[in-house]
Structure 1
Amino acid sequence: MYKLARGFTLIELLVVISIIGILATLVSANLNSARSRARDAARKSDIRSIATALRLYYNDKNTYPVDGYFDSLWGSSWTDSGVTYMSKLPGDPLTSQTHKYEVGTDGNSYILSACLENASDTQGVSAAAAPYDAWCPTTKWMFQIEQ
């Protein structure tokens, strides 16, 4: 009488391991895409929050802060004349890069920008032209609020 072999053959094990590897790769790729979209959503939310604080500042001072005003404030509190406009000026959630702030020559307008990871974001604009191409070198795509 023959005894039935128990267990799996080497081929069966290799097939199962290959399938698990392929599934893990697909899930990992989808997670990375979701993470980059989440970071882009955080960037856009941060820009909108800064824009709200800029409007409050403008209401108090009748002008927007000058270029370079935020250079030393990113990541810290934005307080001016005893008024706190933001408890923490947010920077990029992934890198140490800061958002870009430019004020108009008359002090009554500004452009606030953040580099995006997802170049197909429908709310983004091209950053392929100077001076933004050096500032957003990876995707050449950014989110802007202009006032």
Structure 2
Amino acid sequence: MPTLVNSSPFDFAQGRQFIVHGNAATVNREPLTVNRRPWRRGFTLIELLVVITIIAILISAVSASFTNAQMKSRDGRRKSDLKSVQQALEVYIQANGKYPSASNYNIQCNIGGDSSIKEWGQEFICGGITYAQQLPKDPVYQATTGYKYFSNAPNLTYILLAHFENENDSDLDNQPAPCLPPPSDYTYCVINP
């Protein structure tokens, strides 16, 4: 069985120890080595997981903030769009004494022989007079949930409707009661002044 010895005072002072194999007549000295791994540069698995988790949390927070900012931006555009349609409708009533009719939630001219229907995204020309170069389209919602126009005979009032994505918009608190008959998914409206 190998034994652990210090071969000389010099070896002991240096901290060297040897394993002696065999009997005293045939001494085979090998330096005793401890299995030490060299120091490596890098990260442990735990450190990597912590960093990845922190990055994921930051990305989700920034993404939520960015999405909220986009919704507010689109809602701001909706307000602006309906304001421009409102201005065109006021020019229309000044020229014709009444607002255009409504057909399937679109504007329908009612000037003389012109009863054309103006869909959202088309130009608003009635009786040869241009009231708007283009009726705006909702930035996201199309077809079934785009802007809507209502006007009842004798076409002296109207309602423009839009659906806001941000349900916490301060303008939604100021909506007039007759504007949104239930059940309605339209959350914002403009009525004639």
Change (3 A) 1:118 1:86: same
Say if 2:121 is the partner of 1:75.
yes
* Residue aligning to 1:106: 154
In the alignment, which of 101, 113, 132 is matched to residue 66 of structure 1? 101
Cα offset, 1:76, TM superposition: 0.9
1:117 and 2:165 equivalent?
yes
Larger radius of gyration: 2
Q: Which runs of 5+ in 1 are unaligned?
A: none
Match of residue 141 from structure 2: 95
Q: Which of 21, 24, 27 is equivalent to 2:59?
A: 24
Once the two structures are superposed, what CA deviation does each residue of 1:24-63 show, in whole Å capped at 9, x if it has no partner? 0011111111111111111110000000000111111111
Whether the aligned pair in 1 keeps the contact of 2:124 and 2:131 (CA below 8 Å) is yes
Q: TM-score, normalization: structure 2?
A: 0.66
Q: Structure 1 pair 63/128, CA: closer, same or farther in 2 (3 Å)?
A: closer
Q: Secondary structure of 2:153's match?
A: coil
TM-score (norm 1): 0.85
Q: Which runs of 5+ in 2 are unaligned?
A: 1-35, 108-116
User: What is the alpha-carbon distance in structure 2 between the residues aligned to residue 110 and residue 104 of structure 1?
Assistant: 7
Deviation at 1:144, TM superposition (A): 2.6
Alignment partners' CA distance in 2, 1:60 and 1:141 = 31
> Mean Cα displacement is larger for which, 43-52 or 71-80?
71-80
- Quote how far apart the aligned CAs of 1:72 are: 4.5
Does the Cα contact within 8 Å between 1:64 and 1:110 map onto a contact in 2?
yes
SS at match of 2:102: coil
Alignment RMSD (CA, Å): 2.1
